[in-house]
Amino acid sequence: MAIPNKEVKSNTDILDNRRTQTRIQVRIPKDLHEEPVISRLVSHYGITVIIADAQVSANVPQYSCFDLELRGTVSQIESALTYLDELDLEVLYQSSPEEDGW
């Protein structure tokens, strides 16, 4: 017997809302140094960003390199990574869900 007016979440919805984390290494070119790239990851996508390491040097003025840990839902992290891709930033490393998933 079917239960009327009962919403059933699909497996995709459940996975998209699952909390997870991933580690990335991203290069931010000099022309974007004045842009709040990392801040936007938090404010626009609602994820937690932990800066594990940063290489910002006057000796290498072409870019800055950041090791970031991103924490949030699967869909939040996917959206944040899409944002970085749209900025044409070079993501040098991304951990797999097997390494970092909760």
| Per-residue pLDDT of the chain in tens (102 residues, 90 and over written 9) | 555 555 555 555 555 678 899 999 999 988 888 889 999 999 999 999 999 999 887 666 688 899 999 999 999 999 999 999 999 999 987 776 555 554
What is the reported pTM?
A: 0.74
Q: What pLDDT is attached to residue 37?
A: 93
Query: Residue 18, SS3?
Result: coil
Q: Which domains can be identified in the chain, with CATH numbers?
A: 19-100 (3.30.70.260)
Residue 99 CA to residue 61 CA, distance in Å, equals 32
Residue 62 CA to residue 39 CA, distance in Å, equals 21
Q: What pLDDT is attached to residue 31?
A: 86
Residue 98 CA to residue 21 CA, distance in Å, equals 10
The span from the first CA to the last CA of the chain, in angstroms, equals 36
Contact 15, 76 (CB under 8 A): no
68-82 as b/e: b if 16+ CB within 10 A: bbbbbbbbbbebbbe
Q: What pLDDT is attached to residue 76?
A: 94
